[in-house]
Amino acid sequence: VAKEAGKGRYQFFNQGMQQRAERTALMHTWLKTALATKQFELLYQPIIEVSTGKVVHAEALIRWYREGETISPLEFIPVAETDGSIVEIGEWVREQGMDLLYHYGSSYGFSLSVNVSTQEIWSHLLQDGLLTSIDRIAARLGDDFPFDQLTLEITESLLMEGHSNLIKAFEQLRAKGCKIAVDDFGTGYSSLSYLNYFPIDQLKIDKSFIRNCQQSPKQQALVNAITKMSHALNLTVVAEGVEDQWQLEFVKSVGIDFVQGYFYAKPLNKKDFIALLEASKSR
């Protein structure tokens, strides 16, 4: 019986692997035409300043709508990272996001975060640089692009190697005024030593930490310690994934600077995001 069960499981495992490989192969093909046929949309999730309750920031989040199906960035970004299409996708995300920031950022007083994939940064370092891409887009918009209202979100995996070219690239971006945020903080396996040598401005505490807080005093202690450490290092802190009143109150009590989550707002399309800014302005 054990042998049979084992055999069955083995086949099941294989089938799953086969299906995933087929899906990945399809996505590589689909990605080739996705940009040209305008299948992507950029959504904007408000980020609220805890002390004032105001929308002062937003994170740009990509969506892929393909023949009635919505494909999650969690699924397609890793695929796009392996065939190089992430470079064009990243460029498109910055074009859209920077355009919104340029036209609405000063009148509504908000700043914007865009995610930059680790793989894209490595290819850029070998080619013409993330800074060149950002400069090119900014120059097309006008000579007064508000670089100081643009944040780049990177993940811990990028920081593990402490590559000197990487540090140089980020120092140049910061010299322009851009801010650097470490996304999904606490989920990676890197050491904390990068906080010492890597030029960053903000930590975003991953939503998995916030989700388990109410039931777990240990988790609360961790979030508290991360916040205190960040402030001691002059970093601002964002809590991701705040979904209810309890979590909001907790985040406030800990002294976290900004919150992002469904409790306040889901990612919104451009029109709804601007409408929300307009509504909060006249309040």
Residues of the shown chain interacting with Mg ion in the complex, contacts defined by CB under 5 A: 115, 153, 183-184, 204, 206, 240
Least separation in angstroms between CB 173 and ligand C2E: 16
Q: Which of 185, 186, 243 is nearest to 214 (CA)?
A: 243
Task: Mark residue 27 as left, alpha or beta (left: phi above 0; alpha: psi -120 to 50; beta: remaining).
Answer: alpha
| d(C-alpha 274, C-alpha 46), whole Å | 10
Judged by CB under 6 A, the chain residues 78 through 117 that form the site for ligand C2E are 93, 115, 117
State the Cα–Cα distance between residues 5 and 13, nearest whole angstrom.
12
Is residue 124 at the binding interface for ligand C2E, with CB under 6 A as the rule?
no
- Residues 32, 132, 262, 269: which binds ligand C2E (CB under 6 A)? 262
* Other CB atoms within 10 Å distance of the CB of residue 101: 24
For helices 73-83 and 118-126, give the axis angle rounded to 10 degrees: 20
Binding site partner of 241, from Mg ion, ligand C2E, none, Cβ cut-off 5-8 A by kind? ligand C2E
Q: Taking the complex as a whole, how short is the minimal distance between the CB of residue 60 and Mg ion, in angstroms?
A: 9
Terminal Cα-to-Cα distance of the chain (whole angstroms) = 68
Would you count residue 267 as binding ligand C2E (CB under 6 A)? yes
Judged by CB under 6 A, the chain residues 201 through 260 that form the site for ligand C2E are: 207, 240-243, 260
Question: Which spans of this chain sit near ligand C2E (rule: CB under 6 A)?
Answer: 45, 60-62, 72-74, 77, 93, 115, 117, 153, 183-184, 207, 240-243, 260-262, 267
